[in-house]
Amino acid sequence: MLTALMLLIKEKLFSTAGIFLLIFAAIFAVFIFSNSNVILSKFGFETTTTLKAEVTRLDGELKTLKDINEKLNKTIADQTAVHDAKLKGVIENFKEQEKARLTVTVIKTKKEIKDRDTIKELEKKTVQTDTEITMPLAELNKLSESNITSLNDAYSSLFETGKTT
């Protein structure tokens, strides 16, 4: 049987047609082998070439996304700094307003306590008729002076002016 096979190979394979078929088969095999990635990818198989192309594409996307992320992080950091500065300004403004409210309340309370007796005297001495109101000038001047002093105290405490001696 082995000799029959050897004889078949010798007669058929090494004949003119056989050699032509061997050369054609060798060229076809080289073509198929060199283009195996393309052929396999046409049939839907993943090959090293397609995977390398995908890795390259994803690397480019990764770089682009990292750049975008850095820009967004910088924008967030800038916005956070601006927000913190504005928040600090609002807090300082609120503290100043509270301080001013407290100062005005203290000055008003002191004025009310100080002027209580003068107001009672003024109300007792005030005469009101249908056409006119008569008030004593001394008590009225005393209340006006007290109002001016209170306004001056409020101004001095709210707007710390340089004091000279």
Higher per-residue confidence, 92 vs 43: 92
Core vs surface per residue 21-57: b (16+ CB within 10 A) or e: eeeeeeeeeeeeeeeebeeeeeeeeeeeeeeeeeeee
Structure-token pair, residue 35: 């283009």
Q: Which of 102, 105, 82 is nearest to 94 (CA)?
A: 102
CA angle 138, 143, 146 (to 5 degrees): 125
Q: Are 159 and 105 in contact (CB under 8 A)?
A: no
pLDDT of 162 reads 54
Lowest average pLDDT, out of 3-7, 105-109, 133-137, 146-150, goes to 3-7
Q: Which of 141, 142, 147, 79 is nearest to 110 (CA)?
A: 147
pLDDT of 76 reads 97
pTM passes above 0.85: no
- Does the pLDDT of residue 132 top 70, yes or no? yes
Bridging pattern class, strands 133-134 and 127-128: antiparallel
Lowest average pLDDT, out of 85-89, 98-102, 122-126, goes to 122-126
- Does the pLDDT of residue 90 top 70, yes or no? yes
Cα–Cα distance for residue pair 149/105, rounded to 1 Å: 15
Q: First CA to last CA across the chain, in angstroms?
A: 134
User: Tens digits of per-residue pLDDT, 49-76?
Assistant: 778 889 999 999 999 999 999 999 999 9
- Does the pLDDT of residue 163 top 60, yes or no? no
